[in-house]
Chains A and B, each alone.
Chain A
Amino acid sequence: MEISVFILFMAAVFTSNILLTNFLGMCSYLSVSKQIESSIGLGIAVFFVMTCTTALNYAVYYFILVPLDLVYLQYIIFIIVIAAFVQLTEMVIERFSPVLYYSLGIFLPLITVNCAILGVSLFMIIRHYTFIQSVAFGAGSGIGWMLAILALAGIRERVNEKFVPAGLRGAALSLIITGIMALGFIGLSGIAVIQ
């Protein structure tokens, strides 16, 4: 596929945002977005894990699964790679930077079941990206996800729920805010489009 790496990266951040157009990673997006501080922590963790696991899964898929004709096992293998990587990162951070561990540590286990991470790996296979494209796509999607959760947390801190109808408070209100954000991001779609 002939897409320049830079366009792919920008598209993953803005126009084809993994959360706002593909709806991935909604569970932790809705539950952790109450405060800006915790959403920054989760956002950084997602960005880091997403970039690295995309690269790892690319290598595993094309150098192990394809030659051995085990492509149908991709779901199991991908999820194992992601879980193992998250576990490893947790141990490394705990050993070398206890401060970072305490601010980031609680978010790491959440990431294993964040569907955006697995989703990026699956998109990479379906769209036949090269290695460099995959890493750019993974990093861009991570930044895009962080952007979306930061924006939502910023808005939620300022919204006074007293003026919102009772049935809309909480998750439903977050969904409406997200919908309006998605509308805004669609306005950027002239810049670059990836399929």
Chain B
Amino acid sequence: MTKKQILLNSLFTENAVWRQILGICSALAVTNLLMNSLVMGLGVIFTLACSSFTISFLRNYIPNRIRMMVQVLIIASYVIIVDLFLKAFLPNMSKALGPYVGLIITNCIIMGRAEAFASKNTPVNSAIDGIGAGTGYALVLLIIAFFRELFGFGTLFGLQVLGAWWTKWSIMVMAPSAFFMLALLMWFVYTMKTRKAKN
């Protein structure tokens, strides 16, 4: 596979959220505002790319029996970097995201890519795969957040889009709508795919 194919494959064809149903905990939690989703998405892309690179680089030196533990430690180190960065430069964002930054560690996407791709491929290809998978994840976050923020607050990235005539749907801000939006997105993607396959 060429590098471009690796990127597109992990971004769309094997998209972690709607194809493999991984990492949806945080996908649901931070999507009430677009800005939160964007920062979270960038954090995951960074962690995923760096940890895939490192794990792939060390893949021949890690004993098989303790590889999970080593992978978790590598991932945790990068998450600490993201967390300290947010605390230093974006303190408000760090408060808004709360524990979900730390929970990137247990985001199954990262372990999933480490197991499925990084432990068998070269470092550079693994990093590209990580960027692809992370971008796919960020894309899903932004799509869901777009609708939730638009209908729930009438804003996009904090800017007023819908006028004062808009009645805010407070359900979109609350938890249940996150479940509904993700389910509808999965339905949409499935329908588009089967329609494409038929043609």
Whether the Cβ atoms of B102 and A122 lie closer than 8 Å is: yes
- A183 CA to B178 CA, complexed, in Å: 11
A111 to B: closest C-beta gap in Å: 11
A171 CA to B111 CA, complexed, in Å: 20
- Establish whether residues B28 and A76, one from each chain, have CB atoms under 8 Å apart when the complex forms: no
One of B5-13, B71-79, B125-133, B161-169 contacting the partner: B71-79
Beta-carbon nearest neighbor of A122 in chain B: B99
- A171-B107 contact, Cβ under 8 Å, with A75-B76, A75-B102, A166-B194: no
Whether B180 and A24, one on each chain, are in contact in the complex, defined by CB atoms closer than 8 angstroms, is: no
Chain B nearest Cβ from A147, distance in angstroms = 15
Interface flag for A193 (CB, 8 Å): no
Contact yes or no, B176 A183, CB < 8 A? yes
Our pick among B22, B103, B183, B191 for the contact of A176 (Cβ within 8 Å) is B183
Q: How far is the CA of A74 from the CA of B194 in the complex (A)?
A: 46
Q: Is B157 an interface residue (CB 8 A)?
A: no
Compute how far the CA of A80 lies from the CA of B24 in the bound complex, rounded to whole angstroms. 23
A185 to B38, CA, bound (A): 29
Q: Are A115 and B25 in contact, CB atoms less than 8 angstroms apart? A: yes
Asked if B107 and A115 sit within 8 Å, CB to CB, the answer is yes
Most buried by A among B111, B183, B191: B183
Query: Does B90 lie at the interface of the complex (its beta carbon under 8 Å from any beta carbon of A)?
Result: no
Cβ-based interface call for A1 (8 A): no
- Kindly list chain A residues whose C-beta atoms are within 8 Å of the C-beta of B179: 175-176, 178-179, 182
With A165-B187, A178-B179 as contacts: A79 and B105 at CB distance below 8 Å = yes
B145-199 at interface with A (beta carbon < 8 Å): 174-180, 182-184, 186-188, 190-191, 194
User: Which 3 pairs of residues, A with B, have the shortest CB-CB distance?
Assistant: A179-B179, A167-B190, A122-B99
Give residues in A with beta carbon < 8 Å to B.
20-27, 30-31, 72-76, 79-80, 83, 113-115, 118-119, 122-123, 126, 165-168, 171-173, 175-176, 178-180, 182-183, 186
Chosen A-B contacts, 25 in total, with CB atoms closer than 8 Å, are A22-B29, A23-B24, A23-B175, A25-B25, A27-B108, A30-B21, A31-B21, A75-B80, A76-B77, A79-B106, A83-B69, A115-B25, A115-B26, A115-B103, A118-B106, A122-B98, A126-B98, A165-B187, A167-B186, A167-B188, A171-B21, A173-B183, A176-B179, A182-B179, A186-B176
